[in-house]
């Protein structure tokens, strides 16, 4: 059984070394500006609700808060790859201090799960495999539950924050972790200070401004719906296929979306719809993915397994219609 996905044939054919040098060059200003814009939108939403407290402002600004944080989360995703700044220390500090700390995460620790996902996409040992396989989405009621994210809250938290199963995976694929690796799996005083400061500021500040409901309706709820569940659905759309899991795995499950600007705000802000380029070259920062994808698409005819789809919602509808034909669904009908 394979331990890692082999992207080498794609990488050798779709981009030249010269193009990669240019695409991999990091620039600080997009990260700084996009981070400021993300938090600017969130703070503006809080101010609007504070000035005009009504159900319709809470609803509208809740959507803005959730989607703006999701745009920040996509920047943090690059931070997990340490592609925000040249210095890993500066990368982690920015990511923790200005993005991930707000949801209780730390780059150094939480990047483990995501790195395993990239190495093992479409392989049974991928820790994020539950997000895109068919087996846990039939019958249709299971798919509806999946879209809510509720059955997977604990599993996602366990994958990201508790590393026992990752340790087992590492031991199966390489030598035991070094002392430095083990130290990287524990929170430091610096980490705890960032996490506690963020939670105190959010819970305390929003409660003082709005009352007991402030933290729930103007942070926790929006982030859960428009970041956690939206990211779950995005990963599903980018790696799922309307065919059996074993057959789908043979294609490496790589898809990008030429989605509308509005849809991207909810499912793939900051160019994450260009997912083929990102998965083949995680070193390319998010603000250069459109250029990378353009070059790849011009040469992709030699690899028909790579898919360019139109809309995330269209894929979800197509998958819903296909589900009664899924192998697991037919098996369930036979057993019943």
Residue 184 predicted with pLDDT over 70: no
Please tell me the least confidently modeled range out of 151-155, 267-271, 293-297: 151-155
DSSP structure string for 115-154: HHHHHHTTSTT-TTGGGT-STTS-SHHHHHHHHH-GGGHH
> Tell me: the pLDDT tens digits for 113-168?
899 999 999 999 999 999 999 999 999 999 999 999 988 877 766 665 555 444 44
SS3 307: strand
Q: Which residues contact 43 (CB under 8 A, 6 or more apart)?
A: none
120, 126 in Cβ contact below 8 A? yes
pLDDT for 165 equals: 46
Q: Are 156 and 129 in contact (CB under 8 A)?
A: no
Tokens of 331: 């098996």
Which residue shows structure tokens 């991207």? Answer: 264
Q: What are phi and psi of 273, to 5 degrees?
A: -65, -20
List pLDDT tens digits, range 189-247. Answer: 999 999 999 999 999 999 999 999 999 999 999 999 999 999 999 999 999 999 999 99
């Amino acid at each position: 059984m394979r331990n890692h996905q082999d992207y080498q044939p794609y990488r050798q054919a779709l981009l030249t070394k010269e193009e990669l040098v240019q695409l991999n060059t990091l620039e600080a200003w997009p990260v700084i500006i996009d981070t400021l814009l993300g938090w600017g939108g969130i703070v503006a939403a809080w101010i609007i609700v504070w000035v005009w407290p009504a159900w319709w402002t809470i609803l509208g600004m809740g959507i803005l808060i959730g989607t703006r944080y999701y745009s920040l989360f996509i920047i943090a995703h690059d931070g997990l790859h340490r592609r925000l700044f040249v210095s890993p220390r500066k990368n982690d500090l920015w990511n923790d201090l200005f993005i991930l700390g707000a949801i209780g995460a730390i780059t150094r620790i939480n990047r483990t799960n995501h790195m395993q996902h990239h190495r093992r996409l479409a392989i049974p040992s991928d820790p994020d495999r539950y997000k895109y396989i068919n087996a846990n989405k039939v019958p249709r009621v299971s798919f509806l539950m999946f879209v809510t994210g509720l059955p997977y809250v604990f599993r996602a938290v366990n994958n990201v924050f508790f590393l026992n199963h990752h340790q087992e995976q590492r031991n199966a694929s390489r030598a035991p972790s070094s002392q430095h690796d083990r130290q990287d799996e524990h929170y430091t005083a610096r980490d705890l200070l960032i996490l506690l400061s963020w939670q105190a500021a959010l819970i305390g500040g929003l409660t003082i401004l709005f009352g007991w409901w402030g933290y729930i309706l103007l942070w926790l709820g929006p982030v859960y719906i428009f970041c956690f569940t939206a990211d779950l659905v995005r990963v599903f759309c980018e790696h799922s296929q309307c065919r059996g899991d074993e057959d789908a795995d043979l294609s490496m499950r790589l898809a990008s979306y030429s989605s509308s600007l509005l849809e991207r705000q909810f499912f793939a802000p900051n160019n994450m719809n260009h997912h083929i380029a990102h998965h083949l070259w995680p070193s390319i920062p998010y603000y250069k993915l459109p250029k990378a994808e353009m070059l790849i698409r011009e040469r992709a005819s030699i690899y028909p397994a790579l898919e360019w789809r139109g809309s995330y919602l269209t894929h979800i509808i197509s998958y819903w219609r296909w589900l009664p034909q899924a192998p697991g669904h037919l098996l369930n009908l036979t057993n019943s």
